[in-house]
């Protein structure tokens, strides 16, 4: 079980049971962060929006180092400008718009023509992330269990691709397979995870 989940589960249980004795309630804290006019804690808010921001950037910038640089830049901008943000504004649309600017700047600095991602397309993806943002916590939790249920071999391929950041070509050389075989394994693992997540969250992903 991932380390952070152990911690957060314990924390939540403990605070539910004994929090009122200490003058603390989770519901209170949740209400505080939901109320746009109430005081907002930047670190807590950043942790809330980080999954959507990093997913947005990583889904468009496939290069690991570039995407991490951009996420870092966005974090810096968030920290610098958060205080000046109109409290009535929602944070997620604002930060996703900043993410879009950063992505566009990155493309511009590379000087390469973009076949897929122009401003209009980036806006559509941004809007899609607004819509599915509420699902992110559920997907995260479900995925944790689903990854645990993976067999060792597909899990290993997944780890090489997503953690060691290896290209398919490099994985295929390392494992002595064809690139196509590695691609097929990755597709199947991802589909298995998607099915598992759909089953656990009850949200249907497929489009016709």
Q: Which of residues 16-55 bind another protein (CB under 8 A)?
A: 18, 21-22, 51-52, 54-55
**And the tokens for 193?**
């995870």
Of 18 and 35, the one with the shorter C-beta distance to another protein is 18
Site for another protein in 60-119 (CB under 8 A): 62, 65-66, 68-69, 72, 106, 109-112, 115-118
Q: How far is the CB of 37 from another protein (least distance, A)?
A: 28
C-alpha span between 190 and 172 (Å, rounded): 18
**And the tokens for 141?**
């939790």
| Closest CA relative to residue 118, chosen from 100, 133, 131, 136 | 100
Among the listed ranges 28-36, 76-84, 87-95, 141-149, the one in contact with another protein (CB under 8 A) is: 141-149
Element (H, E) at 180: helix 179-201
Among the listed ranges 26-34, 78-86, 87-95, 178-186, the one in contact with another protein (CB under 8 A) is: 178-186
Residue 67: φ, ψ to 5°: -65, -40
Task: Using CB under 8 A, pick the residue from 31, 41, 81, 153 that binds another protein.
Answer: 153
Among the listed ranges 24-32, 34-42, 83-91, 162-170, the one in contact with another protein (CB under 8 A) is: 162-170
Taking a C-beta distance cutoff of 8 angstroms, is the pair 102, 70 a contact? Answer: yes
Does 202 contact another protein by CB under 8 A? no
Q: What is the DSSP letter of 85?
A: S
Q: How far is the CB of 201 from another protein (least distance, A)?
A: 10
Q: How far is the CB of 27 from another protein (least distance, A)?
A: 19
- In the chain the first and final C-alpha atoms are separated, in Å, by 35
């Amino acid at each position: 079980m991932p380390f952070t989940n152990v911690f957060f589960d314990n924390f939540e249980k403990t605070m539910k049971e004994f929090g009122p004795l200490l003058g603390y309630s989770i519901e209170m804290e949740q209400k505080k962060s939901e109320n746009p006019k109430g005081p907002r804690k930047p670190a807590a808010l950043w942790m809330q929006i980080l999954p959507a921001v990093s997913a947005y950037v990583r889904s468009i910038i496939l290069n690991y180092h570039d995407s991490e640089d951009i996420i870092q830049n966005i974090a810096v901008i968030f920290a610098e400008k958060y205080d000046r943000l109109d409290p009535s504004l929602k944070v997620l649309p604002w930060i996703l718009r900043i993410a879009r600017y950063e992505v566009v700047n990155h493309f511009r600095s590379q000087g390469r023509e973009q076949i897929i991602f122009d401003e209009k397309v980036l806006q559509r993806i941004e809007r899609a992330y607004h819509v599915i943002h509420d699902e992110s916590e559920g997907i995260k939790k479900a995925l944790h269990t689903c990854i645990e249920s993976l067999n060792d071999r597909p899990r290993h391929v997944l780890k090489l691709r997503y953690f060691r950041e290896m290209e398919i070509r490099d994985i295929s050389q390392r494992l002595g397979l064809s690139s196509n075989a590695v691609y097929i394994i990755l597709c199947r693992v991802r589909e298995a995870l998607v099915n598992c997540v759909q089953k656990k969250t009850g949200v249907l992903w497929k489009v016709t």
